[in-house]
């Protein structure tokens, strides 16, 4: 079975996701799209060329590039979108099977096979198959966390404060325990970086121009009060590094972390997104601050959380799941 893929080469989530897919699945052809797009950093196409793959690049696919991508292949995979209104129909005309790893909030495009990385909203898509997206433990290595003194939060430009940055900062104002907070990623326009909130010393790490795993600082706990969404790459990346996660009591986090690491969610709002009406949740900052303080106080809880994170990281590791992906694409393993 020959395999082609559509990829991104910037420093956003889709760039990380598709590069890891390419690195582990070694597709026969790769079309890198949105080269020149700037919102997620400059595209580094060299990361695909360095893998020894057959690569073409574009902003959006041309008719000629679509023909090149589909010629002589059996299967075409993409994450979230096809970047073309005609590609799926052209693939079917050539007998090429199409698979999209969809993000429901962004809409589920037409495909022969639809995968969802988690079961969040899966009841709306009865034909979709829950297929977890793996995490790369070979580049995301950590050690057991003995106590919580340094916390990290991953900023996001996604709609509706998806990662809960506002919740984290409001909770920091209420925290009475001294600690460090590392703010990782591009700073949204509506935020004004300050070095301290109450007892919390804040370091703004800014945007990292390299590969996603190089951006991770050493930290003890990931603060991720995510308001909505399915696949969350930062949570999975934290697991791979044995970093526990303080999140909200929502799906799919309920399947990833124990109840003691989930803060009650409240006041859902229906927000119209490309995928339709999506519930977006809030959290009482006092609740989040109380859980945060408890982690600083309870070293035993942090050690157990780190162990559980490591277990989840192993379950989701590409090494663990590569055989499953080879079977899904009817491929024999490709040597690295």
Q: Which two tokens stand for residue 297?
A: 């106080």
Asked if 276 and 255 count as a contact pair (C-beta separation under 8 A), the reply is: no
pLDDT band at 334 (very low <50, low <70, confident <90, very high): low
Asked if 250 and 281 count as a contact pair (C-beta separation under 8 A), the reply is: yes
Q: What is the dihedral of CA 317, 102, 270, 183, to 10 degrees?
A: 40
pLDDT band at 29 (very low <50, low <70, confident <90, very high): very high
List CB contacts of 197: < 8 A, sequence separation 6 or more.
169, 172, 173, 181
Detail the DSSP E strand segments found in the chain: 3-7, 29-32, 55-57, 75-79, 97-102, 113-116, 129-130, 150-154, 179-184, 196-197, 200-206, 221-223, 245-248, 262-263, 266-273, 276-282
Asked if 174 and 289 count as a contact pair (C-beta separation under 8 A), the reply is: yes
Determine the pLDDT at residue 243.
Answer: 98
pLDDT tens per residue, range 56-74: 999 999 999 999 999 999 9
pLDDT of 335 above 60: no
pLDDT top residue among 156 and 79: 79
Report, at the CATH architecture level, how domain 150-315 is classified: 3-Layer(aba) Sandwich (3.40)
pLDDT tens per residue, range 109-150: 999 999 999 999 999 999 999 999 999 999 999 999 999 999
List CB contacts of 139: < 8 A, sequence separation 6 or more.
211, 213
What's the rounded mean pLDDT across residues 82-103? 97
Domain 3-133+318-328 fold: Rossmann fold (3.40.50)
């Amino acid at each position: 079975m020959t395999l082609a893929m559509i990829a991104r080469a910037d420093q956003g989530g889709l760039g990380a996701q598709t590069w890891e897919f390419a690195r582990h699945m070694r597709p026969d052809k790769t079309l890198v799209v949105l080269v020149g797009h700037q919102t997620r950093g400059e595209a580094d196409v060299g990361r695909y060329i360095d893998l020894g793959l057959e690569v073409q690049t574009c902003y959006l696919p041309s008719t000629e590039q679509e023909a090149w991508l589909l010629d002589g292949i059996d299967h075409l995979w993409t994450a979230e979108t096809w970047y073309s209104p005609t590609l799926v129909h052209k693939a079917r005309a050539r007998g090429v099977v199409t698979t999209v790893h969809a993000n429901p909030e962004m809409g589920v495009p037409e495909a022969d096979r639809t995968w969802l990385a988690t079961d969040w909203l899966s009841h709306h898509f009865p034909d979709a198959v829950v297929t977890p997206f793996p995490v790369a433990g070979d580049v995301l290595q950590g050690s057991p966390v003995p106590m919580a003194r340094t916390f990290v939060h991953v900023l996001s430009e996604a709609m509706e404060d998806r990662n809960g940055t506002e919740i984290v900062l409001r909770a920091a104002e209420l925290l009475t325990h001294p600690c460090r907070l590392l703010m990782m990623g591009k700073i949204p326009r509506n935020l004004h970086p300050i070095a301290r909130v109450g007892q919390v010393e804040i370091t703004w790490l800014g945007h990292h121009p390299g590969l996603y795993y190089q951006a991770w600082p050493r930290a003890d706990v990931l603060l991720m009060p995510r308001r909505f969404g399915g696949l969350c790459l930062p949570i999975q990346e934290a697991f791979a590094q044995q970093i526990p996660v303080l999140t909200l009591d929502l799906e799919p986090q309920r399947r990833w972390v124990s109840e003691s690491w989930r803060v009650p969610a409240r006041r859902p709002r229906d927000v119209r997104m490309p995928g339709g009406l999506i519930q977006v949740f809030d959290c009482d900052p006092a609740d989040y601050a109380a859980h945060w303080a408890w982690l600083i106080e309870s070293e035993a809880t942090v050690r157990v959380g780190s162990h559980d994170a490591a277990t989840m990281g192993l379950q989701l590791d590409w090494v663990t799941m590569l055989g499953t992906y080879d079977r899904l694409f009817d491929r024999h393993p490709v040597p690295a």
